[in-house]
Amino acid sequence: MSQARLMQGNEACAEGAMAAGVNFFGGYPITPSTEIAEIMAKELPALGGTFIQMEDEIAGIAVVLGAALAGRKALTATSGPGFSLKQELIGYGCIAEIPLVIANVQRMGPATGQPTSPAQGDVMQARWGTHGDHPMIALSPWTVRESFDVAVMAVNYAERFRTPVIILLDEVVGHMREKVVLPKAEDIEIYPRRKPNCTREEGYKPYTPMADLVPNPADFGTGHHIHVTGLIHDETGFPTGSSKVTEDTIQRLHQKISRVQDEITHYDEFFMEDAEYAVLTYGGTARTAYAAVKMARQQGIKVGMVRLMTIWPFADKVIKKVAQKVKKILVPEMNYGQLVLEVERAAAGQAAVISLPKYNTEIFTPKEICTAIEELATEVVK
């Protein structure tokens, strides 16, 4: 058994990425994510990997895209302002189907906002920040150990689906320290880089989709011809003005994720067996919500909790099931009210959905959420 360690969430994220095979980091320092870069700068060279600090946030993700195209498993880390700057190249990664992981340790915004203050204001940006129609995978841990596990999962999903994957941490989890026991290397499942399944003479085209709708383009420098562009392209990788190819490409990009949505939707349920009310939560807020739910249950209120790890694609089926069971759903989040809109959409009127926003640089207290639960239980549903 591995030895117990006292670790920070950002540290666990960095170690999880390396455990999953990340051997290239490019980025630019920004609080509250900087510890990820610091650990990568120290550890990667010793493992035969590469760390490079670029001149700005845009270059930080550009170099990661290049490294991924050359066969490296690659990671960048940032926070709100940097995440905004990276959006165009996240879109490039989507259309060119380049595997990479972006760790976004959320802080208060907009713009420079309140550096190193906790927030969850990048939830919608994670899904819709880059222009055009595209799928997105975003995962949000709520413990230090899960920060490690989510990093492994994010790297594996990036490689499996050849797409950018976002680790949506927040300052609470990123800077929190807990005693953790990490898994042994031999117990960690690692998804390998996809490789071409035929030669050029046998008809190899870099963007021919396989049975899972994901192509197997060759890495640069392996002897195969490959053309990469941000334009809509056909199976050869070269641009095309075809309306049919355009439509087919956009559909395939979505379907390669939607076909496995149930598999990649990760969540926890607590005290839901007899629940008449539910708290829907994620990230650092989930920790406070859990304590609040326990407090409310001690008062005799039949309330449960659903904690989402997978933020995108959104857990529509999970929310629909919850809405069919309970009278009301409370959604606390450290923003002006973002994911609550998705909960309302998925609940489709089957349960009342109540937003509990907080956006003043302070985390929720258990009492705040417990008081909101008490109000849920005493109000009459309109």
pLDDT at position 3 is 87
Query: In terms of CATH, what superfamily is 4-187?
Result: Thiamin diphosphate (ThDP)-binding fold, Pyr/PP domains (3.40.50.970)
In terms of Cα–Cα distance, which of 61, 175, 54 is closest to 129? Answer: 61
pLDDT at position 1 is 57
pLDDT at position 199 is 84
pLDDT digits (tens, 9 = 90+) for 277-332: 999 999 999 999 999 999 999 999 999 999 999 999 999 999 999 999 999 999 99
Query: Alpha-carbon distance 33 to 174, whole Å?
Result: 7
Q: What is the overall mean pLDDT for the chain?
A: 96
Mean pLDDT computed over 264-273: 98
E strand segments, 275-349: 277-282, 303-308, 310-312, 328-333
pLDDT at position 382 is 43
Q: DSSP for 99-138?
A: -EEEEEEEEE-STT-EEEEE--TTHHHHHHSSSSS---EE
Domain boundaries 266-378, CATH class = alpha beta
pLDDT digits (tens, 9 = 90+) for 226-251: 999 999 999 999 999 999 999 999 99
Residue pointed to by tokens 């939560």: 281
pLDDT at position 60 is 98
Domain boundaries, the chain: 4-187, 266-378
Same fold, 4-187 and 266-378: yes
> Does pLDDT of 200 surpass 90?
no
Mean pLDDT computed over 28-53: 97
Contacts of residue 313, defined as CB under 8 A and 6 or more positions apart, other chains included, come to: 135, 136, 137, 257, 258, 261, 264, 265
> Does pLDDT of 23 surpass 70?
yes
Both tokens assigned to 147: 């920060």
pLDDT at position 2 is 75
For 231, the enclosing helix (H) or strand (E) is: none
pLDDT at position 228 is 97
Mean pLDDT computed over 145-149: 98
Query: Alpha-carbon distance 198 to 193, whole Å?
Result: 15
E strand segments, the chain: 5-8, 24-27, 50-53, 74-78, 100-108, 114-118, 137-139, 164-170, 177-180, 267-270, 277-282, 303-308, 310-312, 328-333, 352-357
pLDDT digits (tens, 9 = 90+) for 56-113: 999 999 999 999 999 999 999 999 999 999 999 999 999 999 999 999 999 999 999 9
Query: Alpha-carbon distance 149 to 16, whole Å?
Result: 6
pLDDT at position 225 is 87
> Does pLDDT of 380 surpass 70?
no
pLDDT at position 381 is 44
